[in-house]
């Protein structure tokens, strides 16, 4: 068991809910470092108190990161050992810890990760969706234009997709996934992982929207979405229009044809319906 090293930044994973997920190594490192840079010192203070850790803290979060980085680098250059923690999980994942890591690399500061719980991996492992290859997206941007651009870039992605989301935006995000990636894709909506009310919801995106629209979402969410299959990728716009023409010629209504193709292609029914309207207009 090695003691902490001077002039080193430790990235210490903390529990995402259940305090029993704290590792022995994480406790020891937090006890031995000179300073703990924490996202929320009050939140981390409760964790430190639980494990009887008395190391002093320094706040480091999104809105003060640029101001804090020079101070932290100075302390590290002076030979201090500093631990970076986030409110839950691994620092640097969907938080400004990445900026500090980059600054330390440029300053030739040693960086040592102390692995801990991560909501995305925990959700993926229990999802039942393919785990051999995946893409971590994290939180989608709030601005609708940028949000749409990112989702459009993921339309052909065959790997499993992982998203984080807050409770008050979960329904909107599911609706955006349906619009851009297909309402018939399989999805797992994981909530409050490792906590008392942990829940895994499984089904299609369309059913997820219906289910979560009828409840008052609470807690932190991780969304695990199936990637685009090889069958989906073969459905070019031209192929869809050809299939629509055949279904319409067989007597299907535009709505019926669109619904059937949406099930087969995993594309949004509304998108296919718009194609059906174009075909109908062109044949009149």
Task: Give residue 284's pLDDT.
Answer: 43
Task: Give residue 13's pLDDT.
Answer: 97
Q: Is residue 200 part of a domain?
A: yes
d(CA 227, CA 115) in angstroms, rounded, equals 27
252/176 same-domain check: no
Task: Give residue 100's pLDDT.
Answer: 96
pLDDT in tens, 179-199: 889 888 999 999 999 999 999
- What is the bridge-based pairing of β-strands 186-191 and 199-204? antiparallel
Q: Is residue 89 part of a domain?
A: yes
d(CA 108, CA 77) in angstroms, rounded, equals 9
87/156 same-domain check: no
Q: Is residue 15 part of a domain?
A: yes
Task: Give residue 234's pLDDT.
Answer: 60
**Does 235 score more than 80 pLDDT?**
no
Task: Give residue 236's pLDDT.
Answer: 75
Task: Give residue 262's pLDDT.
Answer: 81
State which H helix or E strand residue 158 sits in. Answer: none
105/135 same-domain check: no
Q: Is residue 193 part of a domain?
A: yes
Q: Show the CA angle centred on residue 194, arms to residues 25 and 117, nearest 5°.
A: 35
**Is-above-0.95 flag for pTM?**
no
Q: In the structure encoding, which two tokens stand for residue 36, read together?
A: 């703990």
**Does 16 score more than 50 pLDDT?**
yes
113/209 same-domain check: no
Domain end point (choices 117, 147, 179): 117
Please report, for the domain that includes residue 24, its CATH number: 3.40.1010.10
Average pLDDT of the chain to the nearest whole number: 91
pLDDT in tens, 18-68: 999 999 999 999 999 999 999 999 999 999 999 999 999 999 998 999 999
Partner residues linked to 38 by β-bridges: 59, 85
d(CA 10, CA 7) in angstroms, rounded, equals 10
128/194 same-domain check: yes
Number of Cβ within a 10 Å radius of residue 132 = 6
**Does 239 score more than 90 pLDDT?**
no
178/272 same-domain check: no
Range of the domain at 270: 235-282
DSSP strands (E only) in 14-109: 35-38, 57-59, 81-85
Task: Give residue 237's pLDDT.
Answer: 82
176/246 same-domain check: no
Cα end-to-end span (Å), the chain: 79
**Does 233 score more than 60 pLDDT?**
no
Average of pLDDT values for 211-216?
A: 92
Average of pLDDT values for 69-77?
A: 97
Lowest mean pLDDT among 33-42, 96-105, 123-132, 237-246: 237-246
21/68 same-domain check: yes
CB of 38 closer than 8 Å to CB of 60 = yes
Average of pLDDT values for 162-184?
A: 93
Task: Give residue 130's pLDDT.
Answer: 96
**Does 146 score more than 70 pLDDT?**
yes
CA-closest candidate to residue 1, choices 22, 20, 33, 24: 24
Residue 52's region, left for phi above 0, alpha for psi from -120 to 50, else beta, is: left
Q: Is residue 3 part of a domain?
A: no
């Amino acid at each position: 068991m090695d003691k902490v090293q001077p002039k080193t930044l430790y990235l210490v994973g903390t529990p995402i809910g259940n305090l029993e997920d704290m590792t022995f190594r994480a406790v020891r490192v937090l006890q031995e470092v000179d300073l703990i840079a924490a996202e929320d010192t009050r939140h981390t203070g409760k964790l430190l108190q639980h494990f009887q850790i008395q190391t002093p803290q320094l706040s480091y979060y999104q809105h003060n990161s640029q101001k804090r980085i020079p101070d932290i680098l100075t302390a590290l250059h002076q030979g201090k050992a500093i631990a970076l923690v986030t409110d839950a999980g691994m620092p640097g994942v969907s938080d400004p810890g990445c900026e500090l890591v980059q600054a330390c690399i440029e300053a030739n500061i040693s960086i040592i990760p102390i692995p801990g719980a991560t909501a995305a991996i925990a959700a993926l492992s229990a999802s039942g969706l393919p785990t051999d290859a995946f893409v971590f997206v994290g939180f989608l941007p709030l601005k609708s234009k940028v949000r749409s651009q990112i989702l459009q870039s993921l339309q052909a992605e065959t790997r499993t997709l992982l998203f984080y989301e807050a409770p008050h935006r979960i329904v909107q995000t599911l609706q955006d996934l349906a619009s851009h990636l297909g309402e018939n894709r399989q999805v797992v909506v994981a909530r409050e992982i490792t906590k008392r009310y942990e829940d895994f919801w499984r089904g299609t995106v369309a059913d997820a929207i219906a289910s979560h629209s009828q409840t008052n979402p609470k807690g932190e969410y991780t969304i695990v979405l199936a990637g685009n299959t090889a069958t989906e990728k073969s459905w070019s716009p031209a192929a869809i229009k050809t299939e629509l023409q055949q279904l319409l010629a067989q007597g299907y209504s535009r709505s019926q044809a669109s619904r059937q193709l949406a099930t087969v292609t995993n594309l949004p029914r509304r998108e296919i319906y718009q194609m059906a309207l174009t075909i109908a207009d062109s044949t009149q």
